[in-house]
Every structure is written in C-alpha cells, then in structure tokens.
Structure 1
Amino acid sequence: MQRHKQKCLWGWFVGAIVACLIAEAPAFAQSSQDLEQIRQREIVVGTKEAPPFAMKSPEGEWSGISIDLWRRIADKHKLKYRLHEEDTVQGLLDATAAGKVDIAVAALTVTAAREEALDFTSAFYGTGLGIAVPTDGAASWAPVVRALTSFGFLRAVLALIGLALLVGLLVWLIERRHNEEFGGTVSKGLSSSVWWTTVAMTQRGIGHQGPRTLPGRFVAMLWMVGSIIAVAVFTASITSALTVRQLQGNVQDVTDLSKVKVGAVSGSSTEDTLNRLRIRFESFPNAKLGLQAIRDGKLDAFVYDRPLLAWMINQDFRSSVLLLDIIFDQQHYAFAVPAGSPLRKPISVAVLNEVRNSWWGDTLYRYLGSKGQ
C-alpha cells in the first residue's frame, strides 16, 4: 500500500513537470521564432551620450556600460545592427515609441509614465538619484545663522534660563531671612539670588557671596555641579551642530532641497521626482551645464542620476563640485523598445543571463570603480 502511494506521488510529480514543459513550449518556441526573425534584418539601435552608460569618442566610437552590454548580447546572438544617435533623452524616447528605432540603449530609467508609451527589458542596473553641491560654497554662515535662530537652539537657551530662575527662587526662599545679601524687598532679594545662580552657572566667580544656611549651601552645591553638566552638554551639542552645518553647507539631505536653489536635467525622471516632492528647480539641457552652474555659484544643489553625476564630477569637476554620500528615489536602468516589440522578451532573457556572470561585475568596476551602486 505504501509503495503504491509512492508510485502515485511520483507519477503525479512527473506529470506536473511534463505539463509545465508542454505549457511553456509555445513561449520558448515563440521566443526562438522572434529571435530568428530579428536576425534576418538590421536592428536600429538608438542611443544618446550619457557617460558612463553611453559615450562617444572623437573618432565616433561608442562605449559605456549600456553599449558594452548591448554589443555582448548582439555578438552572442549574431544580431546585425547600426547605431542611431539622438540629441535628447526625450527625443530618444519619442523615436522608440514611434518605432523609428528598434531598441534604445543609453542611460534610461524605468518609470510609470515611460512604461505607458513603450516597453522596457529586464533591468540591468539599480541605483538612485544623487545630489551635487559646491565644494567651495559648502562652508557658509547661512546655515550657522539658521542653527542659531532655530527653535531647538532657542528651546535649549530657555531651558537653561528656566533652571537658573527656578534655582534662584529656591535659594531666595531659603536664604531671605538668614542672609542680608538675599534679603530686603522681594524684587531686590529675588533678583540677587537669580543673579547669583546665573553667575554660579557660568563659573565666572561668586566671591564671598552665596548661601549661608546649610539647606541653602546644599542647594547651591547641587546647582553648581548640575550646571557644569548642563552647560557642558549644551555647549557640546551646539558646537557639534554648528561645525557640521558649517562644514557640510546648506544641503545635507533631501529635506534641505526645498530651502535652496536646485537644478535638474530637462525631460529626465529627476523632474518627476522633484515635482512629487514639491521642490522647486531650474531645468538645464544637460547635466554638464547644471554642474557648471554649481561651480559658478548659481545653484546650491544639482540632482541627477547618481552614477552619471559621479562620472562627470570625477572627470571635469573634481575640485569644485562635491557629490553627497546619499542616494534617494530608487531607480532601475533598462533598454527600451516599442510597445509590443518582439525584441523585448529575447533581449530581457539575454540581459538576465549577462548580469549574473563575472563579466558584468568587471564591466561595472571598469566604469564606476565598484560593482554596486
């Protein structure tokens, strides 16, 4: 009986595998058929300069992360193709959606708006947006002034003043009948005791003045020790905040972008992100002009795809522009094809195969200096 059950289970398992293979057979056959049809003609590959994903040498030779990946796929599958260059990202997307090019190979990020007009292959690289800021403009008194006038700073100052008033009132209540220095009218005695607690807190010297009763001196002792700790903590926190602000400048995080002049590339997915975050920005035709505006002091920050910013800053703006060590708004790079293109599935499979081998890691390291983001 047990053996009969095992045979039944084994038969069901084998049958399930066969059924799956039969169900997938048309898809595999269709993919192979599409690939065979693609080999019969010349593929028009649209691209646009976007270092380090697509770069054109003075001699007209193309290279880069996306270009190298496409060439490797085309060589493996014996695809005939020719490159067609577009001037803008939007122009490349429009040409792809209209079917003027068969596949767009550049630095294209996958977005919902773009997905409505065309199709994307499997993603081959994941990263996010980066923020570039001026190096020489990083040390500024503007953030220092903002820190000194912030609610947190005011609250800390008021807390110290409140403690001094509270202790001064306690000392006056204890000493007013036993110490002429805190005696007299309420205004005279209370002001003298508050003044004494303030002087004791700042360690400016209190001379022979001070409480004379045992309870008063006990309170004074606790206050002098406690005020040393309170002032030390206050000083350390303010010094740290001011130092960080002065060294890092106006922009330290995404939340600071709403307070400064920001730039972005016109027609890029960065504009969609900034609009969603309700951050005002100035558009530039390309990232190089935006980084020049940073260098010239016309912008406080420039937001764009982080690997592209890293490449351009390292090439031409190393001494004048700094790339912050933050990444936001996760993005994925992929090839784009016209909607319903037979290229999408075979190229997607080829991309998935390539990005899982050591060649891909070496390629990323060669262009980006790392195998990750």
Structure 2
Amino acid sequence: MRQRIQSRLLGWHAVVIAVCSVTALAAYAQGGTPPGDLDKLTQREIVVGTKEAAPFSMKSPSGEWSGISVDLWRRIADKQNLKYRFQEEDSVPALIDAVAKGKVDIAVAALTVTAGREEVLDFTSAFYGTGLGIVVPASGLVASWAPVMRALTSFSFLQAVVALIGLALLVGLVVWLLERRHNEEFGGSVTKGLSSSVWWTTVAMTQRGIGHQGPRTVPGRFVAMLWMVGSIIAIAVFTAGITSALTVRQLQGTVAGVTDLSKVKVGAVSGSSTEDTLTRLRIRFDSYPTAKDGLQAVRDGKLDAFVYDRPLLAWLINEDFGSRVQLLDVTFDQQHYAFALPPGSPLRKPISVSLLNEVRSTWWGDTLFRYLGNKSQ
C-alpha cells in the first residue's frame, strides 16, 4: 500500500516537472530568456532597443545616444557591469513588437505603461510620471473670426437671446391687455394691436426712441416704466456677458482645455498610447508618424490641437517651433514611463531595484534639470 502511494506521488512529481519544463521551453521559443538564467544573459552583449523621443532618447549625427532614459540606463548598466549595444526601431509599435518577440532584451525610450502593453511585455518600476499635453496655434495665428463665431453660436448666447425675446413678448402682451381699449395705437384687431405692442416693447428695450407712442393708462405706464428700467439692466448684463465671452475666446483661442477637443480637429502620434486615450474619450483625431509632424500641422493651420506626452511636446517646441505654437497649461491622463522587457526576463528584478535607487538620488534630480529645466513634469 505504502509503495503504491509513493509511486503515485513520484508520478505526480514527474508530471509537475514536465509541465514546468514545457512552460519554460515555450517562453524560450518565443524569444525570451529562461527564468533564472541571469548569469548567462549578463555574460553576453545585451541588445537595447530604442527610438528617438526627445528628450528621453536622442541620437546625435554621429550615432551616439543620449537623453533622460538613455542616461539612466547607462548608469544602471555601468554599475552592474553589463555589456550592451543599442538597436534603433522606427516606431513605438515596432519597438514593442521587438521586445515582445525577444529581438531586443530591453526597451529604453519614452514608453508609457499601459494595460495592453503589460499583457505582452514586462515593465520595470516606473521612473517618470507625467501626462498628456495639448498644443494649439499661437494666439496670433488663430483666425480672428473663429472664436467670435464659436461664441455667437454657443448655447449660452442663444439662451440669452431667447430670454430677451421672451421678456419682450411677455411685456408686450401685458401692455396690449392694459392699453387695447384706451389707446388706438394698440387697438384694432388682435394681430394689429399685439404686433404694435410688441414692437413698442422691443424699441423701448433697445433705447432707440419711442416717439409719441406709448401707454396712456396709469397701469400701462407703470408697466412701461418698470420695463424700460429693467431692460436697461438686462441689456447691460447681456452685453457684459457677450463681451467677456468674446474676450476669453480671443485670449484662449479655439481650444482652452480637454473639453474643447471634441469640437475641433485633433492630431496624435500613430501607435502611441495617446490614441487609446482619445478613443476612450470619444475624440476624433488624425494620426501622424511623429510628434514633430503633428506640430508642423498645427503651425500650418491643418490642426486645431495636437495631443501627446507633455514633456516631449515642451522639448520639441523649445527646440524647433519657438513662439509659432503654444503648449496649454493643461495636463491630463496621468502616465508613467518605464523600461520594457520580454515576458519572464531575469533582468527585470535587478534593473528595477537599481532604477528605484537611482531615481531617489541627487544624480536623478540633476539629470532632469539638465534636460528639462524647471519643467520636470
């Protein structure tokens, strides 16, 4: 009996070992390094995938790589005595695909951690937190009539106009009821009398002069007096509101925040996590190969707004666009950057530990200031 139980236990043990072996081999066949094989991996030259995304990864004319992410990787690799070489990819999807298939051992760029990417990759601990920014044409480049027309067709403007017309009709009706039997100017048929009364009310409201016409009865004149005083206040409030709205529109331009993006023509970088965010917010957009292409479209008037990672936009504007476009003081959709590795990579744990130590050092603060100045978010 005891021998039979021992035989069964040995059998189950063999099955477990076989399953684990098959799983490890499957991961290896997909391009990953078998877990626990860290020594073998660190003894060879590690392939570091990257793509240009200033100021996190930048390539000089001589082919030398630098940037926030690259400098962080170099510091970690030097401390762990890792041999490596860079392999450039032409797009974010290509870089993610190269990591997922094990063509590169680690991706070092400006990669945002997302749920979709986490399904096919492993990420280290995050080293930078940021969000999306919005770039719009500089104030002087915005068509002057666009903000005006947008304000004049807004719901609040139409609501105010309808309210004024409604008040004029109501007061005109009251004046007609009080004057129709005592004032021939408001007498006659219902259509003639009522139209004359409403016309007088409208003229009185606009302060364009009422001539000899007007109510003659005491109640009618009392209502007319209240209406003329009240209409002055109503017109003043209406005028102030419209002037304020137009002034704000002129100062802020067509786009002032995230809520305005659904009303204008928006651009994003193809294959970036920005596309996922805009799709989730139900904002239509056009895709561009690079952020620089999108900013050029904004500058040329082809786009009303371009959305991308805020620090990358700030860098590009400062380097190439100056005052021709402007970055709004708006940040939304919190994001985190991290290094990406193939699933099950033994590099993940030691690199994450080193990364966390570095981002808490004075060296990291100096690095961020060197590339971003005071705008580190």
TM-score by structure 1 length?
0.82
1:113 aligns with 2:116: yes
Give the equivalent residue in structure 1 for 2:72: 69
Q: What's the CA shift string for 1:257-313, capped at 9, x where partnerless?
A: 344333222221122223333433332221112222222233332222111111111
1:171 aligns with 2:175: yes
Q: What's the CA shift string for 1:3-46, capped at 9, x where partnerless?
A: xxxxxxxxxxxxxxxxxxxxxxxxxxxxxx98776654433222
Against the structure 1 CA distance between its residues 184 and 90, is the aligned structure 2 distance closer, same or farther, given a 3 Å change threshold? Answer: closer
Give the equivalent residue in structure 2 for 1:80: 83
Query: What percent of counterpart residues are identical?
Result: 82
Give the equivalent residue in structure 2 for 1:102: 105
Give the equivalent residue in structure 1 for 2:19: none
1:52 aligns with 2:38: no
Give the equivalent residue in structure 2 for 1:201: 205
Q: What's the CA shift string for 1:35-82, capped at 9, x where partnerless?
A: 776654433222211101011222333221111222222333343333
Letter in 1 for 2:54: P
Give the equivalent residue in structure 2 for 1:123: 126
Give the equivalent residue in structure 1 for 2:365: 361
Partners in 2 of 1:212 and 1:238 — Cα distance?
35
Name the count of aligned residue pairs: 341
Partners in 2 of 1:178 and 1:259 — Cα distance?
54
Letter in 2 for 1:128: G
Letter in 2 for 1:357: S
Partners in 1 of 2:83 and 2:49 — Cα distance?
14
Partners in 2 of 1:126 and 1:244 — Cα distance?
31
Partners in 1 of 2:37 and 2:93 — Cα distance?
28
Partners in 2 of 1:320 and 1:243 — Cα distance?
21
Partners in 1 of 2:189 and 2:100 — Cα distance?
87
Give the equivalent residue in structure 1 for 2:145: 141
> What's the offset of the Cα at 1:372?
4.3
Letter in 2 for 1:308: L
Q: What's the CA shift string for 1:153-212, capped at 9, x where partnerless?
A: 333212111101111111222233444443444333333322222122112223444334
1:279 aligns with 2:297: no
Give the equivalent residue in structure 2 for 1:337: 341
Q: Which consecutive unaligned segments of at least 5 residues does structure 1 have?
A: 1-32
SS of the equivalent of 2:161 reads helix
Give the equivalent residue in structure 2 for 1:235: 239
> What's the offset of the Cα at 1:255?
3.7
Match of 1:322 among 310, 326, 329: 326
Partners in 1 of 2:260 and 2:61 — Cα distance?
40
Partners in 2 of 1:324 and 1:303 — Cα distance?
10
Letter in 2 for 1:95: A
Partners in 1 of 2:358 and 2:343 — Cα distance?
23
TM-score by structure 2 length?
0.81
> What's the offset of the Cα at 1:243?
3.2
Partners in 1 of 2:369 and 2:235 — Cα distance?
50
Against the structure 1 CA distance between its residues 371 and 78, is the aligned structure 2 distance closer, same or farther, given a 3 Å change threshold? Answer: farther
SS of the equivalent of 1:330 reads strand
> What's the offset of the Cα at 1:330?
2.0
Indicate if the aligned counterparts of 1:34 and 1:343 stay in contact, CA closer than 8 A: no
Indicate if the aligned counterparts of 1:168 and 1:194 stay in contact, CA closer than 8 A: yes
Indicate if the aligned counterparts of 1:260 and 1:301 stay in contact, CA closer than 8 A: yes
